[in-house]
């Protein structure tokens, strides 16, 4: 009998959340775990600081360069667009793509600075739509005690609080347009291992692959 899962595409899973909530830690562990289990998986970090656009973003985040708020917002989006074809190609080949931040960070951080929410949404319209976004939720007091907090632009209490509120609006918008099941909050408190188990439970069958074409964000 043929394997019905063989024609499935890979799942596109995004991790979001405020600074130091443990995204990069969990994304790496998940990719390693999937590979250990013999599955194909790839990590995609945003911003991808290795590209020409990514280097401009990196200089901005480290406060080595200044930029108009609209311009940096568009660069973050351009950085996703330059990776979009590779994400779609990998998904079509059955590879699970796990992203460390995505368009939702783009909206939340820029809107927190005061840019209009609708403007923030537009440049990412039609990017690959994540099958699942896991929003890692951690009280600010715990996040700011973790190492390196405060080194980059945006890593202030005021900015984090404003961004937290904007993430709430982004979650509502994702659920309204794309369905409740596409956005799930994860309690990011506890040990790295405890959080990892929680995440694994929430991802469930998604790692077996997904039927149907990848959809488009905000469409
Ligand atoms: N940004 C934007 O404005 N627009 C956009 O479109 C995008 C991003 C995509 C840089 O992002 C900035 O870009 C970010 C948003 C903005 N601004 N801010 N602020 P980044 O993703 O490159 O940021 P980062 O440097 O990777 O940090 P992070 O993402 O904030 O951290 P994290 O990945 O969530 O956490 P972590 O590195 O996994 O863990 C932090 C520390 O805590 C580390 O020492 C861990 O060992 C420790 N840790 C992790 N888990 C635990 C648990 N469970 N217990 C105890 N300690 C833990
Ligand atoms: Mg990170």
What is the rounded distance in angstroms from the CA atom of residue 185 to the CA atom of residue 202?
10
Residue 47 near ligand 1, beta carbon < 6 Å: yes
In the predicted structure, residue 2 carries a pLDDT above the cut 50:
no
pLDDT one-digit tens code per residue, 19-58:
999 999 999 999 999 999 999 999 999 999 999 999 999 9
Backbone angles phi, psi at 23, to 5 degrees: -55, -55
Residue-range domain boundaries for the chain: 4-208
Q: Report the C-alpha gap between 141 and 34 in whole angstroms.
A: 32
What are the pLDDT digits (tens) for 206-218?
999 999 999 999 9
Ligand 1 close to Cβ of residue 6 (< 6 A) = no
CA separation for the pair 172, 178 (Å, rounded): 10
Q: How many CB atoms lie within 10 A of CB 46?
A: 20
d(CA 4, ligand 1 centre) in Å:
38
In the block, which residue shows the tokens 């939340």?
108
Percentage of residues in the chain having pLDDT higher than 70: 97
129 Cβ contact partners less than 8 Å away, ≥ 6 residues apart: 12, 178, 182, 214, 215, 216, 217, 219
Question: With contact defined as beta carbons under 8 Å apart, do 26 and 203 qualify?
Answer: no
Q: Is the pLDDT of residue 91 over 70?
A: yes
Residue 48's closest CA among 76, 24, 69, 19? 76
Residues with beta carbon < 5 A to ion ligand 2? 23-24
Q: What is the pTM of this model?
A: 0.96
pLDDT for residue 145: 83
Provide CATH code, domain 4-208: 3.40.50.300
């Amino acid at each position: 009998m043929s394997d019905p899962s063989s024609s499935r595409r890979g799942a596109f899973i995004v991790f979001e959340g405020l600074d130091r909530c443990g995204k990069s830690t969990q994304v790496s562990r998940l990719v390693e775990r999937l590979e250990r289990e013999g599955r194909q998986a790839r990590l995609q970090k945003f911003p991808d600081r290795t590209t020409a656009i990514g280097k401009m973003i990196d200089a901005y985040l480290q406060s080595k360069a200044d930029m108009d708020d609209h311009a940096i917002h568009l660069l973050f989006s351009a950085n996703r667009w330059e990776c979009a074809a590779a994400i779609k190609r990998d998904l079509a080949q059955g590879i699970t793509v796990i992203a460390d931040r995505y368009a939702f960070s783009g909206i939340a951080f820029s809107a927190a600075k005061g840019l209009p929410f609708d403007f923030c949404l537009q440049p990412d319209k039609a990017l690959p739509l994540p099958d699942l976004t896991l929003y890692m939720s951690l009280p600010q007091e715990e996040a700011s005690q973790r190492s390196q907090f405060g080194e980059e632009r945006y890593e202030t209490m005021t900015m984090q609080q404003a961004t937290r509120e904007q993430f709430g609006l982004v979650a509502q918008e994702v659920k309204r347009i794309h369905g409740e099941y596409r956005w799930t909050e994860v309690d990011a408190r506890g040990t790295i291992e405890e959080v990892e188990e929680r995440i694994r439970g929430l991802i469930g069958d998604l790692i077996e692959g997904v039927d149907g074409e990848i959809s488009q964000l905000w469409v």
